[in-house]
Amino acid sequence: MNKLNSYIIKSFIGPFLLTFFVSVFVLLMQFLWKYLDDMVGKGLETAIIIELISYASMSLVPMALPLAVLLASIMTFGNLGERFELLAIKASGVSLLKIMRPLVYVNVLITLFAFFLADQAIPVTNAKFQALLWSVKEQRPEMIIKEGIFSNEIDGYSIKVRERENNSKLLKGLMIYDHTGQKGNNSVIIADSGYVNMSDDKQYMILDLYSGISYNDVRTENRKSKDKKPFRRETFKYQKVVISVKDFNLKRANEDYFKDNYLTLKNKALAATIDTLNNKYKSREKVMSKGLKYNEILDAVVSNAYAPDTMQVEKPLPDTSQFHIDTIYASLNQSLKKVVLNTAQRITQQNQRVLLQYQSDLYNRMVWINKHLIAWHKKYSLSFACLMFFFIGAPLGAIIRKGGFGMPVVVSILLFITYYLSIVIGEKVAREGVWRVDMVVWLPSFVFLVIGMILTHQAVTDSLLLNKETYNRLIKSINIFRFLKPSGKHNDEDTVLK
């Protein structure tokens, strides 16, 4: 039995490692496609690109592990079934559950390892990734030119832009001070518009300027020449300015600035942050509720509801069933009716302003809390998915009895895409507060766990429900062409005619 367990584990480890790296690579393509514009054309060093990809790859591990387990499980048991090894092992008296048992232990270890990475390692790498990505976006030469302020990061130059269009990359209202001569502000260029580009070797920043004027102080030793020609002014329709950025190095942002994000917090810190955010939300909700105007009775009820538990007093609400508002209003004279309507309108408008003031604030706070809750639950649910997908892949491989990268890959991709889409849709629903976060995050895992239990039962009992040969025989037995044949009556008439 020990040799059998060792053989089963060895048969699983190879496909698992292979599919894991393939899964990380496939998921990494999504990252590269998303951040391609932020990295291409920035003159990044190879070490910086490798560091970014390494951090991104680490964040993809929790999603890649369940997919690798699913693929490896189907491939392992599919290979055993295709080579009739699974049939031989069962014929020797070993049940499928006993065959699966060593891999259950292996996948429990994978599940624990996945949670350790998600809770301890990945928050650290996420902080490093966000800090480095922000540094790449903000600190490269062509990105330091910002609107409304002078940028002095490039040695020898001070550049200011009035407006920057994100779509066309057009710069408007440029002002460039050239300090390379170390003689003060004696050279300045003012342009109506322009573009900034990097040279092919990423060593120079090229400014294409349009419709501008360049000023240059002419300082000579001859005082008479200086008095006659104190400066030189040139008007141009187009001018190219080439600025050397050879000594411009990437300035890394402080990682501590990115450690308060829900993606960079460990579960213990996430729980504390969620409690703090909930308290702040309730405090804002309290301020909003007390800011609304009610009648005298409801004002007392609201104040009592938000009072400390020790100071709350249970007072029964008065019976208002005997009051008929329409009758009371009809008994008033016209002047009092006008006063009542004006008062009601004023209070309603005031309450509307209060609600509009706090609506956006409370909504944003709710979404931020839900994002933290989703991050907390996903660390557990994605780790549990490793074990869950094993109980789907192993019996499915035993039923399909096909190994390699053919049918197992197709089935695995379809199952995983379904699981992934359910997670994405569920997260969106949970963020908006439509459903409870814990129910939405765990619902896909629960559904797929039930599917895994059904598949395991079918594989253990050798049920023909999921056997393709059963459906092939069923399709062959239903011969649709026999409905196209002439009926027996017509055949008899043809015989008589003959």
> Do 316 and 363 have their domain in common?
yes
Residues with Cβ within 8 Å of residue 38, at least 6 apart in sequence = 133, 136, 137
Domain end residue (candidates: 244, 276, 292): 244
Q: Does residue 468 lie within any of the structural domains?
A: no
How far, in Å, CA of 459 to CA of 436, rounded?
A: 35
Highest mean pLDDT (candidates 106-115, 197-206, 391-400): 106-115
Indicate the residue among 372, 393, 411 that finishes a domain: 372
Q: How far apart are the first and last CA of the chain?
A: 74
The mean pLDDT of the chain is 79
The domain of 358 spans: 266-372
Mark whether 127 and 29 lie in a shared domain. yes
Clarify whether residues 340 and 387 are in a common domain. Answer: no
Q: Name the burial class of residue 164, with classes exposed (0-12), middle (13-18) and buried (19+) by CB atoms within 10 angstroms of its CB.
A: middle
φ, ψ of residue 240 in degrees (nearest 5):
-105, 130
Smallest CA-to-CA distance from 207 within 142, 155, 264, 267 is with: 142
* Res 309 pLDDT > 80: no
* Backbone φ, ψ for residue 42 (5° rounding): -100, 0
Task: Give rounded-to-5 percent helix, strand, coil for the chain.
Answer: 65, 10, 25
For residues 307 and 362, state if they share a domain: yes
Question: Please, which pLDDT band fits residue 169 given cuts at 50, 70 and 90?
Answer: confident
Domains held by the chain: number? 3
Is the dihedral angle over the CA atoms 221, 224, 226, 232 positive or is it negative? Answer: negative
- Model confidence over 35-60: pLDDT tens digits? 766 665 555 677 877 888 888 888 88
User: What's the Cα-to-Cα distance from 97 to each of 394, 397, 461, rounded to whole Å?
Assistant: 10, 14, 11
Structure token digits, residue 5 = 């367990």
183 and 217 housed in the same domain: yes
> What is residue 498's predicted lDDT score, i.e. its pLDDT?
42
How long a stretch of residues is the chain? 498
In a shared domain, residues 16 and 94 = yes
Q: Using CA atoms, how far apart are residues 386 and 455, in angstroms rounded to an integer?
A: 16
Residue 385 inside a domain? The answer is yes
Tell me, what's the pLDDT at 228? 57
Digit-coded pLDDT (tens) for 319-378? 666 667 777 778 888 888 888 888 888 888 888 887 887 888 888 889 999 999 999 999
In a domain? residue 250: no
Task: Please answer whether residues 367 and 432 qualify as being in contact, where contact means their C-beta atoms are separated by less than 8 angstroms.
Answer: yes
116, 163: one domain: no
Angle, to 10 degrees, between the axis of helix 407-431 and the axis of helix 46-82?
120
454 pLDDT more than 90: no
The answer to whether position 256 is within a domain reads no
* Residues contacting residue 27 through CB under 8 Å, at least 6 positions apart: 60, 63, 64
Which of 188-197, 214-223, 245-254, 395-404 is most confident? 188-197
Q: Are residues 204 and 289 in the same domain?
A: no
Q: Which of 124-128, 336-340, 474-478 has the lowest mean pLDDT?
A: 474-478
Q: Between residues 434 and 301, which one has the greater pLDDT?
A: 434
Per-residue pLDDT averaged across 224-233, rounded?
Answer: 62
Give the Cα separation of 65 and 106 in Å (integer): 13
Q: How many CB atoms are located within 10 Å of the residue 85 CB? A: 16
Residue 340 in any domain: the answer is yes
Q: Say yes or no to pLDDT of 92 above 60.
A: yes
For residue 23, give the nearest of 66, 79, 52 by alpha carbon: 66
| 214 or 112, higher pLDDT | 112
In a shared domain, residues 456 and 339: no
Judged against a pLDDT cut of 50, whether residue 146 lies above it is answered with yes
Q: What is the 3-state secondary structure (H, E, C) of 396-407?
A: HHHHHCCCCCCH
Q: Is residue 35 part of a domain?
A: yes
Are residues 76 and 22 located together in one domain of the fold?
yes
Based on the fold, state whether residues 99 and 165 are members of the same structural domain. no
45 within some domain = yes
Question: Residue 168 gets which letter from DSSP?
Answer: T
pLDDT at 352: 83
Handedness of CA 356, 361, 363, 366 (dihedral sign): negative
**Higher pLDDT pick, 53 / 251:** 53
Indicate whether 427 belongs to any domain: no
Q: What is the torsional sign of CA 445, 450, 451, 455?
A: positive
**Is residue 105 domain-shared with residue 159, that is, in the same domain?**
no
